[in-house]
Amino acid sequence: MGIALPFRRPWWGPPRKLAIPRLLRTCPPLPASVRRHSGFLALTAAIALAAFLSGPWFTDRPLRAAAGAAAAVIDGDSLRAGDIDIRLIGIDAPELRQSCRESDGREWPCGRAAKARLAALVARGEIACAAQGYDRYRRMLAVCSAGDVADLGEALVREGYAVHYGGVTSRYTAAEAEARADGRGLWRGSFERPEDWRAGHRRRQTVGSSGR
């Protein structure tokens, strides 16, 4: 037995009825304590939702910070503006402890060099970042500019201090090809791509912790 409600009339026949099961009419009422505080609970939920929607992760407005004051360079592809961590989208720079090799086989601290180069670019002027999303570490993924440098990520890849990241469709594949052809930065010798270096470093840590 159910409650009959009018249903949209199909073109091929007479009106049909939609039956709603008796279960929906026999659900137990909310406890009195919940009903008494329902208004407060609804207000709290509304405030929490408003706070979430106004958070930095839910805005498409550009983030701006004064260079040298509110922006700090973390490594070759990461910044911090206030309490917001920013990862330059589409690129991957060597890790701080990563070394690369010159054409003659000598090692050089490419991770530190990438960080130093990003710091020099950031010092060119006001930083503006357009959020493109967030990664699993809650870092803002963004395209950022600084002064007359329209795209920090592209500049780093074109100068050879970072590689494109994101597959063959990356926006920086052409910049990487140019740096590679001219032997700039990382491309003047040999190096591990940063993601491969990280994977190898994790494996070494796992083997070391297992005692083997």
State residue 101's pLDDT score.
97
* pLDDT tens figures, 2-25: 333 333 344 444 444 444 445 445
- The whole-number average pLDDT for the span 111-135 is 95
Residue 122: partners with Cβ closer than 8 Å, 6 or more residues away: 67, 68, 71, 73, 79, 146, 152
- The whole-number average pLDDT for the span 88-117 is 96
* pLDDT tens figures, 130-158: 999 999 999 999 999 999 999 999 999 99
CA 198 from centre of chain: 18
Q: Please report, for the chain, the start and end positions of each structural domain, with discontinuous segments joined by +.
A: 62-203
Architecture of the domain defined by 62-203: Beta Barrel (2.40)
For residue 130, give both structure tokens: 């357009």
Q: Inform me whether the pLDDT recorded for 118 exceeds 80.
A: yes
Q: Inform me whether the pLDDT recorded for 109 exceeds 90.
A: yes
